[in-house]
């Protein structure tokens, strides 16, 4: 649960007033950056989906589907060809609709 401490007048409790309150009640104080760091360390934002065959004139490849649950790009569907990228050859993408 996320909560916000408010002053008697209903305004947000900040600064020295907040510091005194949390010390008096032995409460932790977290920044949004702390929550982001925790979620990135503990949650999976990409779910691996199906794998399908993709035969081409250049060889047979596996196409891996993935679904992201990122706030900036919710439920976006991605496809990729798993494998090691070469430093000598550029990596190119294939998009079909």
What is the domain range of residue 70? 46-80
- Is 89 within the bounds of a domain? no
Q: Give pTM, 2 decimals.
A: 0.42
Q: What number is the average pLDDT over the span 2-21?
A: 88
Long-range contacts of 61-66 (CB under 8 A, 24+ apart): none
Are residues 54 and 19 located together in one domain of the fold? no
Are residues 27 and 7 located together in one domain of the fold? yes
Amino acid 16: pLDDT? 92
In this structure, what DSSP letter does residue 87 have? S
- Is 62 within the bounds of a domain? yes
pLDDT of 70 above 80:
no
- Is 92 within the bounds of a domain? no
Are residues 5 and 21 located together in one domain of the fold? yes
- Is 6 within the bounds of a domain? yes
- What's the Cα-to-Cα distance from 50 to each of 21, 53, 66, rounded to whole Å? 51, 10, 8
- Count of domains for the chain: 2
Taking alpha carbons only, the member of 69, 63, 64, 62 closest to residue 46 is 69
Backbone angles phi, psi at 38, to 5 degrees: -65, -45
């Amino acid at each position: 649960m996320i909560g916000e401490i408010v002053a008697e007048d209903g305004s947000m409790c900040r600064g020295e007033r907040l510091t005194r309150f949390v010390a008096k009640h032995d409460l932790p104080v977290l920044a949004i950056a702390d929550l982001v760091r925790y979620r990135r360390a503990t949650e999976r934002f990409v779910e691996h989906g199906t794998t399908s065959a993709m035969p081409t004139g250049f060889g047979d490849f596996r196409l891996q589907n993935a679904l992201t649950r990122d706030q900036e790009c919710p439920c976006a569907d991605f496809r990729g060809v798993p494998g090691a990228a070469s430093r000598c050859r550029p990596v190119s993408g294939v998009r079909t609709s």
